[in-house]
Amino acid sequence: MNILEELQWRGLVADSTDAEALAKRISDGPITVYAGFDPTADSLHVGSMVPLLALRRFQLLGHHPIPLAGGATGSIGDPSGKTQERQLLTPEVLSANIAGIKEQLKHLLDFETKTNPARLLDNNTWTAPVSFLEFLRDIGKHFSVNQMVAKESVRARMEDREAGISYTEFSYMLLQAFDFYALCRDHNCELQIGGSDQWGNITAGIDLVRKKLGRPAHGLTLPLITKADGAKFGKTETGTVWLDPARTSVYKFYQFWIRTDDRDVVRYLKFFTFLSQEKIAALESQHAENPGARAAHKALAKAVTDLVHGPAATTEALRASEILFGGDLAGVSESTFNEIVGEVPTKEIENTQLDGDGKPLVELLMHSGLCPSKGQARKDVEGGGVYLNNIRETDFQRAVTTTDLLFNKHLLLRKGKRNYVVVTAK
């Protein structure tokens, strides 16, 4: 299977320029391909993974991938898909962001292989030395305003009289076209890939390559990922899902994937994992036969978390997940336990209340809100429905002391199968 067949099977081709010519070029041998990303933050997010994993798929099949950091274009801002002007970033911030992202790219692409290593380039390298007059003479003269206004990303903003579009963002298309020209000229890059909202920018680059170098160039767009319910992919109630564990913990990252809508899980297995057609087909069958087992969800969450954070971090995330399903707490690290604290209700208690003989369990259940009264708490305990640190307690006279604290600060109370509260001693 060649790369185009692979992408098509996975549903990752939205459009391409002269598909027949591109297929022939790829059949002739390895091609150099690039995808750009503007470093508007010091971390990539899950939405960034689609084009970057596409680069990895090219690389695995012998092609030459270039992830392009927008040190220049990032200081302008792409108007595509935006209804308002982006905030301008300083060169210092952009440099710091690129440095942070570079570490994440090492998990997604192979920079060490001897045959076709990935190359991280920064478009500021060839953009900064060019003066404004040189750019207008050598690049701007190849574009008509009529052509630029016809592009969807520009036209949509111009039709919004309140927001409009600045000359700065209007010029973004020329800068991205200049990137394709420079990469083709200096690195023999013949293919640009990007989201379907990049179609206008990609075709502008192809035209510039043809006019200035007299060479054919190709473009391929990937679908913009959406959820089955129409919500934006990569967003949760708490915000963007980042690849940096300092921004989105590994546990929350894993939970994002495990909570995928049943209607989306097979699509996401194709988009975001490198599982084979046979494996995904088997998971699709298991999901259809027994969706409650969530085999497809578990495979998706493990594969993506392994890729981004490594198997060891995935194991920790799994341990944290198991805690909320009654898993054994023995050997669980404090960092793993802390991952779940924000997932369940929390209550505080004075540390002194647990000194000496401690606090009766029934009173603690009332304090936590799990039980409305001592009488109900006693019934729940005697009925076997109460757990302290995931161990069933059946003695209603049980007292809780400082020796029960996890990491000298937490108690995990559970009533029934899913009602948890973390009580923290202060």
CA distance 250 to 253: 5
- Please state which CATH number belongs to domain 235-341: 1.10.240.10
Structure tokens at 413: 């109370």
Strands 15-16 and 218-222: antiparallel
Q: Please determine, for residue 218, whether its predicted confidence score (pLDDT) is greater than 90.
A: yes
Per-residue model confidence (pLDDT) at position 85: 52
CA distance 312 to 302: 11
- Please state which CATH number belongs to domain 346-425: 3.10.290.10
Structure tokens at 298: 């578990």
Structure tokens at 90: 């300083």
Per-residue model confidence (pLDDT) at position 40: 84
CA distance 395 to 195: 60
What torsion do the CA atoms of 99, 100, 106, 111 make, to the nearest 10 degrees? -10
Strands 386-388 and 346-349: unpaired
Per-residue model confidence (pLDDT) at position 151: 74
CA distance 98 to 354: 49
Structure tokens at 408: 């000298």
29-38, 51-60, 284-293, 329-338, range with the lowest pLDDT = 329-338
Q: Please determine, for residue 8, whether its predicted confidence score (pLDDT) is greater than 70.
A: yes
Q: Please determine, for residue 277, whether its predicted confidence score (pLDDT) is greater than 50.
A: yes
CA distance 404 to 121: 54
Q: Please determine, for residue 86, whether its predicted confidence score (pLDDT) is greater than 60.
A: no
49-53, 104-108, 155-159, 215-219, range with the lowest pLDDT = 155-159
CA distance 132 to 361: 74
CA distance 386 to 404: 15
Can you tell me the mean pLDDT for 216-236?
A: 88
Per-residue model confidence (pLDDT) at position 365: 95
Structure tokens at 44: 């990539």
Instruction: Identify which has the larger pLDDT, 340 or 217.
Output: 217
Q: Please determine, for residue 166, whether its predicted confidence score (pLDDT) is greater than 60.
A: yes
CA distance 116 to 59: 7
Per-residue model confidence (pLDDT) at position 87: 64
**Fold topology of 3-222:** Rossmann fold (3.40.50)
pLDDT band at 83 (very low <50, low <70, confident <90, very high): very low
Per-residue model confidence (pLDDT) at position 340: 79
* Domain residue spans of the chain: 3-222, 235-341, 346-425
CA 240, 243, 248, 251 torsion-angle sign: positive
Per-residue model confidence (pLDDT) at position 187: 98
Q: Please determine, for residue 285, whether its predicted confidence score (pLDDT) is greater than 90.
A: yes
Q: Please determine, for residue 136, whether its predicted confidence score (pLDDT) is greater than 60.
A: yes
Mean pLDDT of the chain: 90
Per-residue model confidence (pLDDT) at position 77: 63
Can you tell me the mean pLDDT for 318-346?
A: 85
Helix axes 199-213, 172-187, angle to 10 degrees: 50
Per-residue pLDDT tens over the stretch 375-404: 999 999 999 999 999 999 999 899 999 999
In the sheet with 64-69, reading across from the earlier edge strand, the strands are: 15-16, 218-222, 189-195, 32-37, 64-69, 121-122
